[in-house]
Structure 1
Amino acid sequence: MPRQHVTTHIAIIAGVCICLLMYLSWSGSKELPATSAQPAAAAVLEFDSPGSALAVVNKHRPLPADYIPQDLADAAGVPLRAEAAAAYLQMAAEAGATGVPISAVSGFRTGGEQEHLYTSYTDSFGPEAADSISARPGYSEHQTGLAIDIANPDGTCGLESCFAETLAGSWAATNAQHYGFIIRYPAGAEHITGYAHEPWHLRYVGTEHARTMHEAGTTLEEFLGLPAAPGY
């Protein structure tokens, strides 16, 4: 083969190799698509900091013992972080306007207050039952200032699973996500959350994330791709 043909062939092959290397480099730099178990946004969402609206507190993930939010505000008689308080007040007002009054029962609790509550449950029901209905000190979402327990003003089914069937419970389950809240401990998710169904326990995560979780029917752990936390 003439030398000039050899040279041409070598140049073509080299060009093809360079193009292939450039393509591989470009495609490797692209982000991989997210799986259904963990949304793309979850890769950059902050859930380790207790100050984050997505902070995950469960039986595997305690808070600093002395943690107290710095922006607590009044939410109809209970303290919540300011953003959550404003969202709750809007939610309660709009629920009331539709003929469904909702009362706030409990919001932020210190570690000491949680210890007193947990001890009372342990004394009444024993440690195993207490762990299914109450968090140990340092492991309570209430300490984040992002969790609120709600009720019917007349006390019907207060802090009981039948609350889900009452006006306030049904309305919250259908509408809370529009205000940034999720039912944190839903029925059927005990093996993930570690707690019995609590239809009265709302957790503020922000409107966008709450709607996503509500539509997908996922817990906070599932949304963020975290392992289940059924026990300590």
Structure 2
Amino acid sequence: MTQQVKRKKVVKKGSHPTGTRKVKRKVRRIRKPVLYGLIAIVVLVVALFTVPKTIEDGKLKDLGYDKATISEIRKQKLTNLIIKNKYYSENLAASIVDKTLNKDYIELYVVSDSCDQREFVLYDRLIDKGYTEEQALNLFDNLTFFELTPLLVFDFQTDVQPYIDDAVAHSATNSFSKFELSNSYKVPYETTKPVVNQGSYDMLVNKTYYLDGSFAPPQLQDLSIQYASTGLQLDAPAAEGLKALCEGAREMGLRIFASSSYRSYDNQQALYDRYVKRDGQEDADTYSARAGFSEHQTGLTVDLSALDEDGKAVATFGESDEFLWTSQNCQKFGWILRFPEGKESITGYQYEPWHYRYLGVDLAQKVVDSKLTYDEYYELYMAPWNNEENNNALKNPSALSSKTEEPTESAEPTETPAA
């Protein structure tokens, strides 16, 4: 048997096994200078984005912001504004984090310990009254809300520093329930204007706002002797409010009645003249209103008295159980204590525990809840604006506001002269 020898196929060098010629590809290499240049460009681009951010974060950290707040500052696009002006306060930081910051009042967040809607309104009101932004911020930087609201009632202060110093000097004893100052910041009856909304429940009558001599309540009606002394009148809504108040007291075993109610312009003039003749004008002005400036002319005001178990009038209403109950519950029936103790510097009158003003249940509750005098509340939330552009805060739908029904007023007391 012959052995078959397998021949190896010889492929010529440079040829492909299939018979096609293999083409050798030339590999291009990036030169090192070019490669280094590309790397440098990438590094530069990254640096352009990261270095400024790092620098900004450093500046924000130096101001006092933490990492989480810095992140929010960037999201809310506040970085440049805050760094440029060096804004920082715990109040501002907290508002940024919880996303409640109102950018229109960012400087107020810096100087105030806390910012809410009422402070925005107060700030705008101060600007509207004529104070500069610098003055307003200075006031907020040094004083609290209840120390600032009287400025809306007081005369405009060209220099706010004396007021700040006076308020600070009394800061240890002043509060929402008591506000005293060493100096006076309002000259009674010097700057006056007509009542804006004559005939409405919410009209303000004080030593600034006056009623025309011809004004009379639109629905005057006689009061029942069950709730008032003989011959007294009130505007109809206030008359119903008085009835409800007296009935509420009776359910608690207490007896109150109106000893004074509506008083005409002429009657108020005669009463005021009598007090001036007796005590002099300066003293008379502390407890009695001049004609046109008395709440009694509105038909929405009463002076209350109390009866003891024998049906006799209690000599001092302010020391009676009836007063204690009335002062704590009057707002439920639409009334407020108009001249509270400790607020004489704001109201311009002596403390009158018997003097109550009808506002309607809704508004009365708001005033009581605010802990402000009606003078302050009205100027803060209800008075017309001198410049509509200043009422930024009230344009916010969450801003407090209160306009209510219609008005009425009152006559004379049994113990002390009433406004």
Superposition TM-score tier, normalisation by shorter sequence = 0.7 to 0.9
Instruction: Provide the TM-score with structure 1 as the length reference.
Output: 0.74
Tell me what 1:17 maps to.
none
Aligned length: 186
Q: Counterpart of 2:170?
A: none
> Is the 8 Å Cα contact of residues 182 and 210 (structure 1) preserved in structure 2?
yes
Q: Which structure has greater strand proportion?
A: 1
| 1:95-152 CA distance string (max 9 Å, x none) | 0121110011111100111011111111221111100010001110000000011101
CA distance in 1, matches of 2:223, 2:236: 9
1:205 equivalenced with 2:359 (yes/no)? yes
- Which of 206, 217, 232 is matched with 2:371 structurally? 217
Extract unaligned runs of 5+ from structure 1.
1-31, 227-232
2:328 is the counterpart of 1:174:
yes
Per-residue deviation, 1:34? 4.0
For residues 277 and 334 of structure 2, the distance between their equivalents in structure 1, rounded to whole angstroms, comes to: 35
Distance across 2 between alignment mates of 1:126 and 1:175: 36
The alpha-carbon deviation at position 49 of structure 1 amounts to 1.3
Cα distance change, pair 36–68 in 1 and its aligned pair in 2 (3 A): same
- Partner residue of 1:63? 211
1:114 matches 2:268: yes
Shift of 1:37: 8.1
Match of 1:155 in 2: 313
Largest Rg, 1 or 2: 2
* Alignment map for 1:4-153 (pairs within 5 Å): 34-36=117-119, 48-76=196-224, 77=228, 78-153=232-307
Q: What do the CA deviations read for 1:24-80 (whole angstroms, capped 9, x no partner)?
A: xxxxxxxx98424859xx9xxxx7212110110011111011101120123334211
Report the 3-state secondary structure (helix = DSSP H, G, I; strand = E; otherwise coil) of the residue aligned with 1:35. Answer: helix
**Does the CA contact (< 8 Å) of 1:185 and 1:193 recur in 2?**
yes
Letter matched to residue 327 of structure 2: A
AA aligned opposite 2:351 = H
Larger RCO, structures 1/2 (Cα 8 Å, 6+ apart): 1
| Matches of 2:197 and 2:249, distance apart in 1 | 32
Give the match for residue 24 of structure 2: none
**Cα offset, 1:155, TM superposition:** 2.7
Q: Contact between 1:75 and 1:86, CA under 8 Å: does it hold in 2?
A: no
Identity %: 35
Shift, 1:186, TM fit? 0.6
Please say if residues 133 and 195 of structure 1, whose CA atoms lie closer than 8 Å, have aligned partners that are also in contact.
yes
Find the aligned partners of 2:299 and 2:120 in 1 and give their Cα distance.
Answer: 27
| RMSD, aligned CA | 2.2
Partners of 1:37 and 1:222 within 8 A in 2: no
AA aligned opposite 2:314: T
Q: Look up the equivalent residue of 2:315 and give its one-letter code.
A: C
